[in-house]
Structure 1
Amino acid sequence: MQDSAVQTAQAYVPKPSSSELKKRIWKNKLLYIMIAPGLIYFVLFKYLPMYGLIISFQDYKPFKGITGSEWVGFKHFERLFTEPDFINILLNTLILFGMNLIFFFPIPIILALMLNEVRISYLKRTIQTIIYIPHFMSWVIIVSISFVMLTMDGGLINELLVYFGFNEVNFLLSLEWFRPVYILQVIWREAGWGTIIYLAAIAAVDLQLYEAARIDGAGRFRQIWHITLPAIRSVVVLLLILKIGDVLELGFEHVYLLLNTMNRGVAEIIDTYVFTAGLRQQQFSYSAAIGAFKSIVGLILIAAANRLAKKMGEEGIY
């Protein structure tokens, strides 16, 4: 009865007139000015390029343009799902995403919990600075450092293996070592930076909860388990939903720098395949069809993950 009364009251809330709306906008003009650059960016680089997806249904020729190219319908999508190499490429992409989700995603949470327990402020700031630095290095630098360490020609890791009596390992050309090397590089570069959001969420936890827990005899681990983790659960779920939406979006640059003829069987992913088909082989329509497929899959997974989160009692992203 009370819920129906609230809904009825909300239904009769008068809408602001155009003059009132203009006054509200003018009153908050600084906020809209701050939002404007972000909106312009998304319009120019996210929404307007969607018009180019039309070429995935055409046999696109650059000299004819979008309006002059022949319409072929779902021809490129049919080729996509019948291409012998595509299943292997899709499987490689999903395996790397699964490794990201299992091995990388929990690490920023664990690091944030550990940093929150450091009571000496200057030590905490020093550790944060050290683990943030790799994020500001490009993938070229990260992969180059890894190459120097892992190469068989005087690499530090292989020198240590030989010193302790083991055989040298060709990490850079090995099918078995590509995925471990990839995920270790991701952890090295992004784990520290990923702690920022979780530390902000932890800082918002009411300190009185910890005081009450200490009075009841709870140690640090019990405080983390019963107070900190439940408090940041909504943030974890939100970031997990966004992560699931990037299931086919692993990033081109990192994998391309590790890719070579010896490890291509496990290293070729959708992003590098689009580069090869679209730019090197100039199959623009086919690569656009792959991009459309990635976007649709990501949208479906985000919607499904968001709905599941709401059923579990979380807020979700919309």
Structure 2
Amino acid sequence: MAIKNRTSDSRAGTWTLGRTIIHDFKLNKYKYLIILPVIIYLAVFAYKPMYGLIIAFKDYRPALGIDGSKWVGLKHFKNFFNDVYFLRLIRNTISISGLNILFGFPVPIILALLLNEIRSSWFKRTVQTITYMPYFISLVVVCSLVKTYCQSDGIFSQISVALGGEAKNFLMDSKYFYPIYVISDIWKNMGWNSIIYLAALASIDQEQYEAARIDGAGRFKQMIHVTLPGLMPTITVLFILRMGGLLNVGYEKILLLYSEAIYDVADVISTYVYRKGIINTAYSYSTAVGLFNSVVNVFFLLISNTLSKKVTQSSLF
């Protein structure tokens, strides 16, 4: 009897849940219709391709298909860990991404704080427009400009000669690749990335500034004690997301800038996956490397989120 009662309760609960969902859909059908294209997009382009991750554990042959290919377990992962380039790839990826976080992450915050302190509206709009513009320039154009400026007869060489140095192609010298990559990335993205901080600044209660002024706080102290604490939840969430992409260094910019002369510092996981998967058609191996990259990113995301929750009481989830 107890089993029958539990079964009846389960069916009743399922029926109630179904009626609730149907009722909610009728009330909010237009909202569901608006979000439907997003759900379809995610299902088709984000979740459906996950089935292809199986080939990381197989010797995939296009003629045999995914199901017909031989299962090899962790073979490709072991091959990657034993690869002569494994440590170099990890070092370069973490170095480029880490430098981008160290120097690139604070810049939009500083820019937003400085713009927030400008009282002249026309000057503020002018600065915003100038800093936003590089974001809309094609990455191909940006990299072409960088390569032109870095040539032996480019503007950077001319400046170097004027300061008593020698003319050289800076992109052919390993020690200059990281600064060139990071500085060009900051220049391109700092204005666009500052928008979300400016939006967060606009939501700070103005009464807090009034109270700070009554207490005798100047503009600098208001920024330290009112503005920054108001920005901290936004900064925390964006930093956690940035840490979740620690190993995601886009291959497009690297491919457009690097050459064999600087493989020792420029070759990263994404370019390695591109070479192995697209050029060498090692589909299973490149999928295994990409899956490893994603798993490590998820690990960093969870760690940074947990630490943030304990230290700042702010977290992504």
TM over 0.5, shorter chain? yes
C-alpha displacement of 1:21? 3.3
Distance 1:214-1:237 versus aligned 2 partners, 3 A rule: same
Give the whole-Å Cα distance in 1 for the aligned partners of 2:267 and 2:283. 19
Do the aligned partners of residues 127 and 16 (structure 1) sit closer, same or farther apart at CA in structure 2, a change above 3 Å counting? farther
CA separation of 1:44 and 1:216: change in aligned 2, threshold 3 A: same
What residue in structure 1 maps to residue 234 of structure 2? 235
**Paired position in structure 1 for 2:9:** none
Asked if the contact 1:150–1:156 (Cα under 8 Å) also holds between the matched residues in 2, the reply is yes
User: Take 1:255 and 1:76, find their aligned partners in 2: how far apart are those partners?
Assistant: 25
Give the residue type in structure 1 aligned to 2:187. Answer: W
Post-superposition shift, 1:20?
Answer: 4.1
Q: Distance in 2 between matches of 1:196 and 1:160?
A: 33
Deviation of the 1:34 alpha carbon: 2.8
Query: What residue in structure 2 maps to residue 131 of structure 1?
Result: 131
- In the alignment, residue 57 of structure 1 is paired with which amino acid? F
1:26 offset after TM fit, Å?
2.7
Letter in 1 for 2:183: L
The equivalent of 1:87 in structure 2 is 87
**Bigger CA drift: 165-174 or 241-250?**
165-174
2:255 corresponds to: 256
CA distance in 1, matches of 2:191, 2:207: 28
TM score, norm. by length of structure 2 = 0.92
- Report the counterpart of residue 226 of structure 1 in structure 2: 225
2:58 aligned with 1:24, yes or no? no
AA at the equivalent of 1:161: S
> Which residue identity does 1:31 align to in structure 2?
K
Does 2:305 align with 1:306?
A: yes
After superposition, the CA RMSD in angstroms is 1.5
AA aligned to 1:187 is I
8 Å contact from structure 1 (residues 237, 314) kept in 2: no
- Tell me the equivalent position of 1:42: 42
In 2, distance between residues paired with 1:119 and 1:285? 57
Percent of aligned positions with the same letter in both sequences?
43
What are structure 2's unaligned runs of at least 5 residues?
1-14
Q: Specify the SS of the correspondent of 2:260.
A: coil
Q: Is the 8 A contact 2:197 2:234 kept in 1?
A: yes
Give 1:19 deviation, angstroms. 3.6
| 1:173/1:263 contact within 8 Å kept | yes
Moved over 3 A (4+): 15-21
After superposition, residues 1-318 of structure 1 pair within 5 angstroms as 18-153=18-153, 155-318=154-317
Q: Which is further off, 40-49 or 237-246?
A: 40-49
How does the TM-score come out when normalised to structure 1?
0.91
Count of residue correspondences: 303
- Structure 2 counterpart of 1:119, one-letter code: R
Q: Give the gaps of 5 or more residues in structure 1.
A: 1-14
Separation in structure 1 between the aligned mates of residue 313 and residue 30 of structure 2, nearest angstrom: 32
Q: Deviations over 1:286-312 (max 9, x none)?
A: 000001101111111111211111112
Q: For 1:48 and 1:21, locate their aligned partners in 2 and report how far apart those are by CA, in whole Å.
A: 25
One-letter identity of the residue aligned with 1:50: M
Distance 1:18 1:54 in 2: 34
- Distance in 2, matches of 1:314 and 1:251, equals 31
Q: 1:17 to 1:83 in 2, by over 3 A?
A: closer
User: Is contact 1:234-1:314 (8 Å) kept?
Assistant: no
